[in-house]
Structure 1
């Protein structure tokens, strides 16, 4: 079943088999001037996604016909649309599996409307932001990508090649949670995919250089047991 709401806002596709959740999301998000469409199964969701071309997909993992992770994999075969998981599954393994499959974010049910809207807007900003922009800015962090120069806390910061590569990867996916294994494979290679200590040390060193208070990071936040996220904030 699908339902649309006329609006000039961004298109949101909700794939969830619970009618109550779909009604709740429709009521909450329509007031934010989003244009909603709905599907109650994985196969229907894939079909609607192909025709509706949403700007963001809100996906439940526990669908009646297929697991939500399989839906993500099929979407990623042809689209980079941001996918935010809304699920009662709270285990770290479920979050990691969904993110590794290509999801962009994860919210556990029940969740607040304010937090959901903030995650949707962050996903939209990320998808609209050209990852090849010459200069990345977020709050007091500025990175001149072609010149490999980094500025924070009012001055230029010197990074090691590995620290810069890690920061550049986080910038490319700014606002999105990257799992430990995703980062390790990208920066150090497949042989290091289980060497989380290497990543923790490099993150710690990077935070000491770009954060005002490394013990309370504002730029690189930790998703416990899952990975890291570079926050997108207006300067």
Structure 2
């Protein structure tokens, strides 16, 4: 079930959107305390955000810019500002769509479905996911609960191999093959050094044991081991 977070200051509209989307089998949460918008986003981890522009305190464009720096959730703007310049501004700041008020709930639901489909296709093409881990292929970053770890090229290749074989033993031969690129000689010591670096980075997030050594056999990536 897809999770939608509504950031809208009109309580009647907020309630109406929530009830409508719940009838379409979405899980829906709303923001009521606008001093805690970003904390709510981080806590709820939505699949999509509906973001009003006219909010108390900071406006929606401010939150959109902050969200784009910290998270990767799709965002649809809801706004009474219908002029072209505002719509262009929203898209340039990273919104996935812009819906002007008043709007048809049927149209909003259709746009939500379309944005989620695009987001799912992008995820399949540009990342690998397992549990709370997401490996971004284009930037070689590892996300854990939306916190980003920078990886080197070799660390990225090893994590890609581990995540594609999660829960299974991966031999050192398989890992050496993952590092080999026909340009750089990779020896057993290089492999050991890179695995040690990955474990150290994971350890900074309290994840010291997600990569376990099976002596004489290889390694197991298991996110359940913390």
Please indicate the TM-score interval, normalised by the length of the shorter structure: 0.5 to 0.7
Give SS of 1:77's match: helix
- Using a 3 Å threshold, how does the CA distance of structure 1 residues 132 and 21 change in structure 2: closer, same or farther? closer
CA RMSD in angstroms, aligned pairs only: 1.7
* Aligned with 1:130 (options 122, 127, 136): 122
Match of 1:44 in 2: 36
The offset of 1:43, in angstroms, is 3.6
- Using a 3 Å threshold, how does the CA distance of structure 1 residues 42 and 130 change in structure 2: closer, same or farther? same
* Aligned with 1:98 (options 69, 90, 94): 90
Moved over 2 A (4+): 40-45, 130-134
The offset of 1:81, in angstroms, is 0.8
Q: Distance in 2 between matches of 1:132 and 1:35?
A: 22
Q: Distance in 1 between matches of 2:35 and 2:118?
A: 27
* Aligned with 1:58 (options 40, 46, 50): 50
* Aligned with 1:11 (options 3, 23, 32): 3
Give SS of 1:17's match: coil
Determine whether 1:114 maps to 2:93. no
- Structure 2, unaligned runs of 5 or more: 127-226
* Aligned with 1:85 (options 77, 84, 95): 77
- Using a 3 Å threshold, how does the CA distance of structure 1 residues 102 and 43 change in structure 2: closer, same or farther? farther
- Using a 3 Å threshold, how does the CA distance of structure 1 residues 133 and 28 change in structure 2: closer, same or farther? same
- Using a 3 Å threshold, how does the CA distance of structure 1 residues 115 and 99 change in structure 2: closer, same or farther? same
The offset of 1:42, in angstroms, is 4.6
> Do the aligned residues in 2 keep the contact of 1:58 with 1:86 (CA within 8 Å)?
yes
TM-score (norm 1): 0.51
Determine whether 1:68 maps to 2:60. yes
Give SS of 1:129's match: helix
The offset of 1:102, in angstroms, is 0.9
The offset of 1:99, in angstroms, is 1.0
The offset of 1:101, in angstroms, is 0.8
The offset of 1:114, in angstroms, is 1.1
> Do the aligned residues in 2 keep the contact of 1:42 with 1:68 (CA within 8 Å)?
no
- Tell me the number of residue pairs that the alignment of Structure 1 and Structure 2 aligns: 126
Determine whether 1:30 maps to 2:25. no
> Do the aligned residues in 2 keep the contact of 1:41 with 1:64 (CA within 8 Å)?
no
The offset of 1:51, in angstroms, is 0.8
Q: Distance in 2 between matches of 1:96 and 1:41?
A: 28
TM-score (norm 2): 0.53
